[in-house]
Amino acid sequence: MSPHRPRRILIHPGFHKTGTSSIQHFLWVNRRNLRDHLATLQLRHLKPVAQLCMRFARSRNPLLLSDLVEVLDEALSLEDLSPEANDPRDIVVSCEALSGHCPSWPGVMDYGTAPYTVSVVAGYFAERFPGAEIVVVYSTREPEPWLHSAWGHHLLGQRLRAGFEEWAPIYRPASDLQSVVSDVAGAIAPHQVFTLPLEESRTHPKGPGGALLELIDLPAEVRDQLTPVGQGNTGPPPDLISEYLALNRSALTDADVRTRKAALLEEYKVGGWAPPADPTAG
């Protein structure tokens, strides 16, 4: 961390289908090169926090938000990042579930709960780490590509039977990610909010993860050593989308549909994290 500015805590709470998997894979693959300068918290560290945020997205029960402080305390303690640990490193928190579910999950129409959950998370870090600079950065995507990606995501993740032409008009309002960013900015002011459009971040020499870390003060020699990764959690190709839709509309049991989808994922080699350019990195 530079002595010329306060410690920075960077919160990256989504959105889904905007390069988040690539960013998180990049942070994981490069964890050894980053660990002297940067602490990272991802879903693997934040599962109880993510579960509360997603439950809130479904139920909008405000009592759930009161539990976030306790589970965040537990998560930081397990990683030796609580204020008492006196760890001076910057922190990156990357977990799209902090904004709830991807719209079209059962009971979830949009990202309307994000301003509430993210304001609690940002307020938590501001209170726990006085003097730290709290920054929220949302990765974004143009509406139509986001809609196509989200629809394909849900075809795999649930028994969605609607074709794109039927599904898209219902969720097109949710694709206005910039509107959500504006709502979050209003909710967490005076903390700063940045956007990281996928259309731009994927052109960074280190990919979306490298673009995100431009907001962190790292030594040049550390940046040079960071290993880029391929596109993570790639969407299904058109042929596979057609097979998903046919399976969802079939008379097969839910269990049989899940088994067949898993076999198709393996056959098409879709999803998951892409390997780094250098397999020995990280």
Written as six digits, the tokens of 70 are: 């306790």
Q: What is the CATH number of the domain that holds 187?
A: 3.40.50
Which residue in 110, 178, 102 sits closest to 140, CA to CA? 178
Residue pLDDT, tens place only, 47-102: 999 999 999 999 999 999 999 999 999 999 999 999 999 999 999 999 999 999 99
- Kindly state whether residue 1 falls inside one of the protein's structural domains: no
Residues 6+ apart with CB under 8 A from 68: 49, 52, 53, 117, 120, 121, 124
- Kindly state whether residue 241 falls inside one of the protein's structural domains: no
- Kindly state whether residue 63 falls inside one of the protein's structural domains: yes
- Kindly state whether residue 281 falls inside one of the protein's structural domains: no
Domain count, the chain: 1
Beta bridge partners of 83: none
Residue type (1 letter), 42: Q
Residue pLDDT, tens place only, 215-227: 999 999 999 999 9
Q: Report CA dihedral (130, 78, 27, 129) to the nearest 10 degrees.
A: 0
- Kindly state whether residue 239 falls inside one of the protein's structural domains: no
Mean pLDDT by 10 residues, the chain (282 residues): 76 97 95 96 97 97 95 96 94 98 97 98 97 97 97 94 98 98 98 97 96 96 93 76 96 97 88 51 33
- Kindly state whether residue 261 falls inside one of the protein's structural domains: no
Which residue in 12, 13, 9 sits closest to 113, CA to CA? 13
Contact 95, 41 (CB under 8 A): yes
Contact 218, 29 (CB under 8 A): no
pLDDT the model gives residue 233: 58
Q: What are phi and psi of 159, to 5 degrees?
A: -90, 55
- Identify the domain containing residue 229 by its residue range: 8-233
- Kindly state whether residue 240 falls inside one of the protein's structural domains: no
pTM across the whole model:
0.92
- Kindly state whether residue 277 falls inside one of the protein's structural domains: no
Contact 224, 143 (CB under 8 A): no
